[in-house]
A and B are shown apart, each in its own frame.
Chain A
Amino acid sequence: MLHIPLWRRILIWSLVAIGLLLALPNAFYSRVERSNDARAAIETLGATPERRDEAGLWPSWLPSGLVNLGLDLRGGAHLLAEVQVEDVYEGRMDGLWPELRDALRDARDAVGTIRRVDQGGDAIVVRLSDPSGMPRALEIARGLAQPVTTLSGVGSQDLDVAGDGDELTIRLSEAERAATDDRTIRQSLEIIRRRVDEVGTREPTIQRQGEDRILIQVPGIGSAEELKALIGTTAQLTFNPVISRSGDPDASQSSRQVVYPLLDAPGTYYTLERTPVVSGEQLVDAQPSFDQNGQPAVTFRFNPAGARAFGDYTAENIGSPFAIVLDEEVISAPVIQSHIPGGSGIITGNFTVEESTQLAVLLRAGALPAELTFLEERTIGPELGQDSIEAGQIACIVAFVLVLAFMWASYGLFGVFANIALLINVGLIFGLLSMIGATLTLPGIAGIVLTIGMAVDANVLVFERIREELKTARGPSRAISLGYEKALSAIVDANITTFIIATILFMLGSGPVRGFAVTLGLGILTSVFTAIFVTRLMVVTWFDRRRPKTIEV
């Protein structure tokens, strides 16, 4: 009855071996990390002798997955940003306006003259001089609507059109807003990722959270401020026609015009047309360079559509100025000297080399579609993380030694089996953490320490049961067998309930709390595995070899 089939023995020991092998790289953390970095560098940048040496620090046939260290252990910055999705609606409306205007003008006979009366915002409001033409105007506006392209928005149109007296109001429909919001977040995620990657930091976390939030964690960066500077700039580049130039920030303007300051000359303002000729989305490349006077500048190139629009505009407007606008500031407003057909150009200003490089990076990564507000930001210095790791390590070792001694004193040889299982258990936790690429946080370390304490529980349950059974059962073999059998239901129930808690923690928690849930949950799985299978296998193997007449637990 104590027999365990060979295949099962092999399976158990192989699982243990695989787990420990996966955990092995963590024992040589900095060495493996350097080797991994060097390999990544060879992959992207090509091999150099130094990189080969570095890569050779860890043999390539061994697993090289490491447990990621969380921000609280490694140091770095954490930001939770909310994307102002409404920003996009206004742009959409502005984009729609020329089309709507032309369509309504074509139907002048029916609707009379028209005037746009809103002040930007998320709706277009048009006043018709002839209210009786409203049905016709509604029809025209509805004709501009497109079907929404999402699964949930089947059959709905992207525009809500309403007429009230002589006012025609057009705004995005609910379904289209939802679809737009989703697109905005995805775009923001992608752009933030590109910008963070440009700086080349290790393992940044950039995740969507909930409806309209983005979580950004970058290990190793100096502060949340730096991170914000990197991603927080919108870098919205547009080329707008210039209407006038003045020293008055409140220069009279219609709703179709905007007034932006000139970057290099305080007190100078340009009145521009709100709708740009071309915008940054149509850029395909931007590089830092120098102008003919040797000043730092940025050269750029448009995609074909952008190039055509830019070429047409410059051909029609030779002699008049146009403005290069970056984030609501006019960088320069040169006069168009000739038709510019190729779709490439140069931005000059009083840049330093750093500024031109930074600007090129931002332009290349693309503009954020909407503004970000930061709801949460945390900076953890690397020294603090290092202190925490050291403290955690010492605590883990002390906890380990004490628990091992306590188990040995209480259960003798069986205690030693349990102790070996405990060591395997911690190895397995690290192996699993490395395998799934989980992140170890400070509460995560606490979770491991707690698991050390709790992992012995399953063994204790079994051993105590064996002790009881020894009093009544016939012979030690039967007692061991009964001990495992009867303790099983308690072990299973007790661990399932704790696992439920770990799952809830994982689902509802974030950051460090989630790290704790992961180690706790994995710890439960491995401790049940080691107690039910590994310790049992050791006990049975020992019993088979020795065949003792009596055992003491």
Chain B
Amino acid sequence: MRLRLVRDDTDYDFFKYAKTTFGASCVAMVLSVLAWAVMGLNFGIDFQGGTTIRTQSEQSVDVAAYRAAMEPLGLGDVAISEIFDPSFGEDRNAAMVRIQAQDGTESVTPETIAAVEEALQQVDPSITFPSVESVGPKVSGELIQTAFLAVAASLGAILIYIWLRFEWQFSLGAVVALFHDVILTIGIFALLQIRFDLATIAAILTIIGYSINDTVVIFDRLRENLIKWKQRPLRDVMNLSVNETLSRTVMTSGTTLIALIALLVLGGDVIRSFVFAITWGIVVGTYSSVFVAKNVVLFLGVKRDWSKPDKTEGNQFANIDS
């Protein structure tokens, strides 16, 4: 007896609700952009410059007391947040203190860090500082540029690759789907105000990689079926292709999600936002390969004659099956 998440002979009509799903995708994208514009992203120091100090203590974290202790130092904008993790015991309490970039210096001066550490030690003598990170405004500006460039370069490279391997309609469909995934990921980061840093960009690129993987598998089958079913309507051939690959889509997304959820729960808090982004992206990416990429290809239409240029033209035996 085998575990079957999807029956072998599914025959779902994925276009039945095309308007609804496509509409929902558009609405979700608009909402994401709105969330991005209105709430903004919670940029980490990678992109904004500044300093973060991770604190760890046996006593519970008293955010208000920390803030009061740092008030006299006049460091401008200070954000303090407590960190929770299931693996922390009773005697482990961690917090993240974030200080804005200071005027006139690139990375933070040792005096500033020493002053902050001293102030916090007076509140809580058992406090330790497992990590201190500081990024100057000069570098953070460049990092934003690099990040933007990386996402753009990936989309461009995929556009070209799919175009070469398939048709331009396919490559446009794939890139629209990827764009959809990226926007939705940025949207959820804005909505939940999760820290958005360099690792998040890596996560977004991974999502692009995963989602294109999924899309390509379906396209590959579609190409095969288009050659096989020359007269069937495009819509039917597409449905057939998705149904045929559905079992694989669910299996692969399933195993990847299992691995990621294990990492999300047990992997510690340091990489949680990174893993969260990828997990979210896998879900969105799987959805977009089935519902977004295909719809775009259907709207655009596609070349139906996939037979190779005929080398035997003029030969009396040519074109027997056309």
Encode A394-412 as 1/0 by CB contact (under 8 A) with B: 1100110011001101111
CB distance from B47 to the nearest CB of A (A): 12
* B230 at the binding interface (Cβ < 8 Å): no
* B205 at the binding interface (Cβ < 8 Å): yes
Contact (Cβ within 8 A) A406 B278: no
* A512 and B136 alpha carbons, distance in the complex (Å): 18
CB distance from A494 to the nearest CB of B (A): 4
Contact (Cβ within 8 A) A501 B209: yes
Option from B134, B252, B263 in Cβ contact (under 8 Å) with A378: B134
* A513 and B277 alpha carbons, distance in the complex (Å): 14
Option from B139, B165, B267 in Cβ contact (under 8 Å) with A392: B267
Stretch at the interface among B69-77, B119-127, B213-221, B296-304: B213-221
CB distance from A429 to the nearest CB of B (A): 14
Contact (Cβ within 8 A) B199 A512: yes
Contact (Cβ within 8 A) B134 A391: no
With both beta carbons as reference points, the residue of chain B lying nearest to A451 in the complex is identified as: B259
With a 10 A CB-CB cut-off, give which of B5, B256, B260 has the most chain A CB atoms.
B256
Contact (Cβ within 8 A) A460 B210: no
* A179 at the binding interface (Cβ < 8 Å): no
Contact (Cβ within 8 A) B260 A449: yes
CB distance from B250 to the nearest CB of A (A): 10
Contact (Cβ within 8 A) A399 B263: yes
* A98 at the binding interface (Cβ < 8 Å): no
Contact (Cβ within 8 A) A452 B259: yes
* A443 at the binding interface (Cβ < 8 Å): yes
Taking residues whose C-beta sits less than 8 angstroms from the other chain, chain A's interface range is 35 or more
Tell me the chain A residues, 480-524 only, with Cβ under 8 Å from chain B: 486, 489-490, 493-498, 500-502, 504-505, 508-509, 512-513, 516-517, 520
Option from B131, B205, B216, B278 in Cβ contact (under 8 Å) with A380: B131
With both beta carbons as reference points, the residue of chain A lying nearest to B3 in the complex is identified as: A409
CB distance from B167 to the nearest CB of A (A): 13
Known: A380-B131, A384-B270, A497-B158. A454 touches B262 (CB 8 A): no
Encode A444-472 as 1/0 by CB contact (under 8 A) with B: 01100110111011001100100110000
Contact (Cβ within 8 A) A375 B213: no
Contact (Cβ within 8 A) A508 B262: no
Contact (Cβ within 8 A) A516 B221: no
* A193 and B214 alpha carbons, distance in the complex (Å): 46
Encode B274-286 as 1/0 by CB contact (under 8 A) with A: 1100100000000
Kindly list chain A residues whose C-beta atoms are within 8 Å of the C-beta of B150: 504-505, 508-509
* B255 at the binding interface (Cβ < 8 Å): yes
Known: A380-B131, A381-B129, A412-B2. A449 touches B259 (CB 8 A): yes
Encode B240-253 as 1/0 by CB contact (under 8 A) with A: 00001101100110
CB distance from A231 to the nearest CB of B (A): 14
* A501 and B274 alpha carbons, distance in the complex (Å): 17
Kindly list chain A residues whose C-beta atoms are within 8 Å of the C-beta of B265: 395
With both beta carbons as reference points, the residue of chain B lying nearest to A495 in the complex is identified as: B213
Contact (Cβ within 8 A) B251 A446: no
* B309 at the binding interface (Cβ < 8 Å): no
Kindly list chain A residues whose C-beta atoms are within 8 Å of the C-beta of B259: 399, 402-403, 449-450, 452-453
Contact (Cβ within 8 A) A500 B161: yes
Known: A384-B131, A406-B255. A497 touches B209 (CB 8 A): yes
* A401 and B212 alpha carbons, distance in the complex (Å): 27
The size of the chain B interface, using a CB distance under 8 A, is: 75
* A409 and B258 alpha carbons, distance in the complex (Å): 14
Option from B3, B106, B133, B210 in Cβ contact (under 8 Å) with A406: B3
Kindly list chain A residues whose C-beta atoms are within 8 Å of the C-beta of B115: none
* A517 and B203 alpha carbons, distance in the complex (Å): 11
Stretch at the interface among A108-116, A155-163, A221-229: A221-229
* A380 and B252 alpha carbons, distance in the complex (Å): 36
Known: A442-B270, A501-B206, A552-B2. A450 touches B87 (CB 8 A): no
Contact (Cβ within 8 A) B217 A494: yes
* A397 and B268 alpha carbons, distance in the complex (Å): 14
Contact (Cβ within 8 A) B8 A467: yes
By secondary structure, the B interface counts as helix
* A517 and B206 alpha carbons, distance in the complex (Å): 9
CB distance from B168 to the nearest CB of A (A): 16
CB distance from B107 to the nearest CB of A (A): 5
Known: A391-B87, A446-B274, A460-B252. A374 touches B3 (CB 8 A): no
Kindly list chain A residues whose C-beta atoms are within 8 Å of the C-beta of B270: 72, 384, 388, 442
* B99 at the binding interface (Cβ < 8 Å): no
Kindly list chain A residues whose C-beta atoms are within 8 Å of the C-beta of B245: 464
Contact (Cβ within 8 A) A80 B3: no
* A388 and B272 alpha carbons, distance in the complex (Å): 11
Contact (Cβ within 8 A) B216 A497: yes
* A328 at the binding interface (Cβ < 8 Å): no
CB distance from B211 to the nearest CB of A (A): 10
Contact (Cβ within 8 A) B2 A453: no
Kindly list chain B residues whose C-beta atoms are within 8 Å of the C-beta of A493: 165, 216, 220
* A54 at the binding interface (Cβ < 8 Å): no
Kindly list chain B residues whose C-beta atoms are within 8 Å of the C-beta of A402: 258-259, 262
Contact (Cβ within 8 A) B8 A376: no
CB distance from B43 to the nearest CB of A (A): 15
Contact (Cβ within 8 A) B134 A376: yes
Tell me the chain A residues, 381-436 only, with Cβ under 8 Å from chain B: 381, 383-384, 387-388, 391-392, 394-395, 398-399, 402-403, 406-407, 409-412
Contact (Cβ within 8 A) B255 A490: no
Contact (Cβ within 8 A) B3 A498: no
Contact (Cβ within 8 A) B154 A500: yes
* B135 at the binding interface (Cβ < 8 Å): yes
Contact (Cβ within 8 A) B278 A446: yes
Encode A299-324 as 1/0 by CB contact (under 8 A) with B: 00000000000000000000000000
* A205 at the binding interface (Cβ < 8 Å): no
Known: A379-B132, A446-B274. A508 touches B149 (CB 8 A): yes
With both beta carbons as reference points, the residue of chain A lying nearest to B87 in the complex is identified as: A391
* B198 at the binding interface (Cβ < 8 Å): yes
Contact (Cβ within 8 A) B217 A375: no
* A496 and B166 alpha carbons, distance in the complex (Å): 14
Contact (Cβ within 8 A) A494 B262: no
With both beta carbons as reference points, the residue of chain A lying nearest to B157 in the complex is identified as: A500
CB distance from A209 to the nearest CB of B (A): 10
* A377 at the binding interface (Cβ < 8 Å): yes
Option from A457, A490, A495, A504 in Cβ contact (under 8 Å) with B205: A504
17 intermolecular pairs with C-beta atoms under 8 Å apart: A374-B107, A379-B132, A380-B130, A381-B128, A384-B270, A394-B266, A399-B263, A403-B255, A457-B213, A457-B248, A464-B248, A498-B213, A501-B205, A504-B154, A509-B150, A516-B206, A517-B202
Chain A residues near B (Cβ < 8 Å): 72, 80, 82, 223-225, 228, 373-381, 383-384, 387-388, 391-392, 394-395, 398-399, 402-403, 406-407, 409-412, 442-443, 445-446, 449-450, 452-454, 456-457, 460-461, 464, 467-468, 486, 489-490, 493-498, 500-502, 504-505, 508-509, 512-513, 516-517, 520, 552
Chain B residues near A (Cβ < 8 Å): 2-5, 8, 54, 87, 106-108, 110, 113, 128-136, 138-139, 146-147, 149-150, 153-154, 157-158, 161-162, 165, 198-199, 201-202, 205-206, 208-210, 212-214, 216-217, 220-221, 224, 244-245, 247-248, 251-252, 254-260, 262-263, 265-268, 270-271, 274-275, 278
List the 9 shortest-distance A-B pairs measured between CB atoms, nearest first: A453-B256, A391-B268, A501-B209, A453-B259, A381-B130, A409-B3, A399-B259, A384-B130, A399-B262
